[in-house]
Structure formats: structure tokens, C-alpha cells
Chain A
Amino acid sequence: MWIGPAPWAPSSRAAAGDEEAFAAIVGAYQQDMLRVAFGICGEADLARDAVQSALVVAWRKLATVREPEHLRSWLVAVAANEARQLVRGRRPLRLDELAVEPSADGGAEPAGAISRVDLANALRRLSADERTVIALRYGIGLDSEEIGRILGVSASGVRSRLARLMDRLRKDLGDA
């Protein structure tokens, strides 16, 4: 299901160099790009860098998108790739860095919920590729086929990796 304005027509106009059409497409999917980038980087500044960089790539490469129905996946893939490139070769987040960041809603968490600090620390222990799979599935709700298309692996491979990751996160978050 597409969320936001249908991008069909803007994509072709944007590919032809229409600035406003490009802006409209970005407006439709910027939240997905930011959430995925943040899920991979775990840092707001890096996520912002990744999306900025992704927009440059998207503008240059938009004409290569042959199937407009995959535009959302494509933009998210570009953002994810930029985010992975940014964290590649970079030192990982430390637990204390994560622990002191305030949450956006002031820290209130439902009773019995997984705490934000525990979750952030568990995510920190994953590789960037693993955080990518998590962000695409649980962050923006892509299915295994869409994720497989983005990562260049089979849908069954995505499913098995997700199952392993869930198992590991369950243990890591004390839910075994």
C-alpha cells in the first residue's frame, strides 16, 4: 500500500529534470528515508547526513528507476545504502552515548514494554547490515520480498535472517 501522494506522474517528471516533481516525491517518502537511516546509524547527525547524501544520489539516478511502483523501495534503498556507507569503518556507538540520549516523548514507556535504553544497546550490538534488515521490516513495514529486492537476497533468505535476528534480540532483551 502506498502512503502519501501517488508518485507515478511526478517520478517521470522528476526524472526529466522537474525540480518541483522531485521535491514532491521526496516529501512523500522523506519520513521513511529518515527512519531507516536513523535505524541503521543510531545517531541523528549521521542519519541526517545519510539522507542528505541520498537525496543527491536520488536526483542523479532517478532516471534509472524503471518501475515507478518501486519508487518508495528505491528511495529507501538509497538512504539505507548511504547510511551503511557512513557507518562502515566508523567506530560503533558506545553504551553510555546511547544511554544519555533523551527519548522524544520524554521517556514515558508503557508498562511491560521493552525499554528504550535496552533496545538501543541491543541494536548497537548488531551489525549495520542487520540493523538495515530490522529497520526495513519493523521500521517501515516492508515485506520480505521488498527487503530482498533492496538487499539483493532472496525473500526466504530475508525471512531466515529475520528469524535469527528476532531470536537473538529476544535473548538479548531478556525475553528468552
Chain B
Amino acid sequence: MRDDSGFELRFTAAYRRYLDDAPALDAVALARSIARAHPRRRRDGLAWPAWPALAPLGRVGWLVLLAALLLALLAATLSLGAFRRLPAPDGIVGAGLIAFDTQGGHVVLMGPDGSDVREISPPAGGDHLPIWSPDGTKLAFWRATGDRFSIVVTDPDGTVKSAVLTHAPVPPYPGTEYAGGAPGPLAWAPDSRRIAFWMYIDELPRIHTMSSDGSDFRAIGDPRIPAIDPVWSPDGSRIAFAGMGDFFADKGAAPDATGLYVMDADGTGVRRIAHVDHALKSSDFWAFHEPQWQPGGELIAFQADPDGTSMHVFVVRADGTGERDVSRQVGGNISNDAGPTWSPDGTRLAFTRRRTNIVGYQVVVVRVDGTDAVTPVHPDVQSAPLTWSPDGTRILGYAAEERSVIDIDLSGTRPARTISVAFDQQARWQRVAP
């Protein structure tokens, strides 16, 4: 019989010895210097206006009036977001509602200016990784119920259109960063009719596709290649994905399956396209993760470690030719470049670059040919992922401040702003007619 408590005691002792190697840091001196560098204005508590000044409506009257105004504003925003549609899957369009998930597992919608924040998830939470359909008419996200995951599809106002029970099991080896072990981001097909995603079958991740109403559910691709992070080509005929061979070698995966792949949308014709030698030979969990297909084009952006020392951003054509190290083209001190994201017109890439010797990341925006790099856009962004606005003028990212979104205006006409929300992992922008 197993001695559970005995193992836990031995683990605790070993773990505490392990943590004894935590670094030394004079945090007190650092705290003093931070406080001095950022003096906070001392202020007395702010008082509400005296209620008698609001007479004759009284407290209740004013509260009702305020609530009515907020509801009207919310309705106006939702109307704009919900009823102006754009069928085309690529190109510059208007920016509608922003959907994101919180650390409590709630999907939240807010207006493009960060106003009218509201949750659409049930109180129990469990919802993660929301993504808008390309035509802006539907929102899909993962929902954890017990130890199973489902895919929920809603209208833009959060009304559940279909709760598609994929019954994806909780991954047995959740090597992902996603809260609750949820599978990775969902990917809508360009026609907004199908969804691709990955989930485990017999402890190996496989790409699946289904119609947005839950029908025609199927696993596709080569079962020997552990596959994650599918992304559709702009014409919907192919799917690119990351192969995770080494990481699942003890689960029956083909040992040389690590890499970046493209296959036909029905799962046939699987072919490897990237050739970053070091990354192909290594077991880097993050190599090739979340490839991004160029809107309206044939380039696929991905991240990989070319030499064992740093993560770089690359692009390669879908036929495997023309591989380029974009990070090296941009130059500078490359420590960790990650999370490449295409502009909606496919002309530029944005990614985060970890700064050396300074805490934090910066955003790099570069033209697809590697020229005209702009950096930094904002010094206080955290690591990937980034999200372009559909009109191409703004980028959302993790703010350096805890649980916040940073909204960066690329035109430079207004300073970046921090939106304080309980942000977790993914923010996605609804596309609407301009």
C-alpha cells in the first residue's frame, strides 16, 4: 500500500531544501529605492459629494438614473458590436468588442475603449481562451465542467448559441501554461463555420475540427505526431500546427516529430515546413508554439531557439521555403523574442522582446521583410501574447502591472493606457464593419 503521507513529508523536506537555493536580494533597499523613485502623492481620503447636494432626487433616484445611463451606454456599445458585420476574413476592419478571460475563469466583454466591462460566464467560472469568429458574429471559448472541457459558442452579447460538448478530458500531462490545464487556443476557420483545436487522445495531443454547431467532430492529421496550436490558412484549405515529438516520446509519439507542420484541412498531406536545426533536435516545449499564418498571404510566423541560447522569431512560407530569422534581421540584443502576431493586413509583425539587464519586455513591430523595425513601442508591456486591433491601430498586451491589459496606440497620438481587469491569458478583438 502506498504511504501517501510519508511521500508528502519527504517531498516537503526536499522541496524546502531546493528552495534554499532561492537567490539573495536586498529587497528592503530595493523597496526604498522604488518608493523614492516613484513618490506617491499623499492625499486625504476622497469624499463623495454631500448627498444633500443631490436633492431633490435623493440617493435612490440618483442611483436609478446612473444605472439607466450605464445600461443605455452598454446597449449602444453592444449594438455597434453586434449588428455591424464584415464577412471578409482578412484586412483592415473596425474594432468591436474585446473579449478576454479572467483568472477566475470568467469570459468578459468590454467596449473597444475599455468601457462597459461585463461578464458573460456563469458564477462558477471555468471559462477560458475566448476568440471571436472572423465575421464577428460568434464568440467561442473553452468551459471546464468537473474534469471535462466543452466548447461554448455564443452570440456577441454572450447568449449561448450552442454549448458543444467535446468532452475533452483534462490533459493527463498538462504541460501547458493555460489555467486549469485547458487545451490551447481555439482557431476559427476563415469562413467562421468550423473550429480547429487540440485535445488529448490516449495521452497524446491531436488536432480536431468541428462545425461551430458541434457537428462533424473529428480528429485529423497523423496520430504519431503530437499536434497542438492549429491555425488556418487564409483560404481555409490548410492548417498549420506545432508538433511536439520529444515531449511525448514516452507516450508513443514519433521521436522526430518536433517541428512546424502544414496539412490539408481534412488532415491529409502532413508535411514539415520549418528547418531550425537546433529547435528540431531539442525538446524545447515552446519551440514552434502558436504559429501564426499571415493574413492574406503564405508566410507563417513562429518562435524557435536556433542555437540553444535564445528564442527568436522566424517566418517561413507554407511550402517550407524562404525561412528567415526575423529577430536577427531586427538586430539588437536578442534574449527572448516570443509571441509573433500579424497585423490584420499582413504587412507587419509584432512580438515581445525580453530586455536584458532590465526587468520586463518591450514590443517590437517590424515590416514583414524585416525592415523598419520600431522598438520599443511601450516599455511596460509583459511577455506574449499580443493582439492587434482589427483596424490595425492598436495592440493589446499584458501590462507589467498585475492582471491588467495594456492598450498601445501605434499611431503615437495618444499614450498607452492600462486597463485594470482581472486579465488571465487571452484577449481577442471582434471584427466589425468600419
A interface residues, Cβ below 8 angstroms from B = 16-17, 19-20, 22-23, 25-27, 30-31, 33-35, 37-39, 44-45, 47-49, 51-53, 55-57, 59-61, 77-78, 81-82, 84-92, 94, 101, 103-105, 109-110, 112-116, 119-120, 123, 125, 127-130, 134-135, 138-139, 151-153, 166, 168-170, 173, 175-176
Confirm or deny: B414 has a beta carbon within 8 angstroms of a beta carbon on chain A: no
Residues of B within 8 A of A128 (CB): 177
Interface size on B, residues (CB 8 A): 73
The minimal Cβ–Cβ distance linking A91 to chain B, given in whole angstroms, is: 5
In the complex, the answer to whether B401 meets A92 with C-beta atoms within 8 Å is no
Known: A17-B41, A56-B34, A85-B382. A170 touches B17 (CB 8 A): no
Q: Is the CB of B2 within 8 A of A170?
A: yes
A139 adjacent to B32 (CB under 8 Å): no
Least Cβ–Cβ distance between A16 and chain B, in angstroms: 6
Contacts of A173 in B (CB 8 A): 11
Q: A57 is contacted by which of B14, B30, B177, B402 (Cβ under 8 Å)?
A: B402
**Is B383 an interface residue, CB under 8 A from the partner?**
yes
Query: Nearest 10 CB-CB pairs, A to B?
Result: A30-B27, A38-B22, A19-B35, A114-B14, A44-B23, A17-B40, A152-B104, A26-B31, A89-B338, A152-B103
- Report the minimal beta-carbon distance from B62 to chain A, rounded to whole angstroms: 25
CB-based contact A78/B402 at 8 Å: yes
Please, how many angstroms separate the alpha-carbon atoms of A105 and B104 in the complex? 39
Contact of B21 among A91, A103, A114, A127 (CB under 8 A): A103
Residue in B11, B31, B39, B398 whose CB lies within 8 Å of A17: B39
Interchain CB contact (< 8 A) of B398 among A85, A91, A153: A85
Asked if B422 CB lies within 8 Å of chain A CBs, one says yes
With A48-B25, A127-B175 known as contacts, the answer to whether A114 contacts B10 (CB < 8 A) is: yes
Min CB gap A47→B, angstroms = 6
For the complex formed, measure the closest distance between the CB of A34 and the CB atoms of chain B, giving whole angstroms.
5
Chain B residues close to A by CB (< 8 Å):
2, 4, 7-8, 10-23, 25, 27-32, 34-36, 38-42, 102-105, 125, 173-181, 282-287, 303, 305, 311, 336, 338-339, 352, 354, 359-360, 382-385, 398, 400-403, 422
Take A119-B14, A152-B105 as given contacts and tell me if A38 and B35 are in contact as well, using a CB distance cutoff of 8 Å.
Answer: no
Q: B156 → chain A, closest Cβ, in Å? A: 25
Q: Is the CB of A105 within 8 A of B17?
A: yes
Q: Which residues of A contact B177 (CB under 8 A)?
A: 84, 87-88, 127-129
Residue of B whose beta carbon sits closest to that of A116: B18
- A91 to B27, Cβ gap below 8 A? no
Known: A16-B42, A60-B38, A90-B383. A47 touches B11 (CB 8 A): no
Query: In the complex where A23-B35, A57-B402 touch, is A91 in contact with B25 (Cβ < 8 A)?
Result: no
State the CA gap A22–B38 with chains docked (Å): 12
Contact B398 A27 (CB under 8 A): no
B286's partner among A33, A47, A89, A125 (CB-CB below 8 A) is A89
User: Which chain B residues border A31 with CB–CB below 8 Å?
Assistant: 22
Residue pair A30, B28 in contact (C-beta under 8 Å): yes
> A129 to B425, alpha carbons, bound, how many Å?
12
Q: By the criterion CB–CB under 8 Å, are A88 and B11 in contact? A: no
Q: Please state if B336 and A90 are interface contacts (CB–CB under 8 Å).
A: yes
Residue in B23, B173, B385 whose beta carbon sits within 8 Å of that of A89 in the complex: B385
> Which A residue's beta carbon lies closest to that of B24?
A34
8 contacts between A and B (CB under 8 A): A26-B31, A38-B19, A48-B23, A52-B25, A88-B383, A112-B10, A152-B422, A153-B180
B313 to chain A, nearest CB (A): 11
Contact call B15/A138, Cβ cutoff below 8 A: yes
Q: Are B4 and A166 in contact (CB under 8 A)?
A: yes
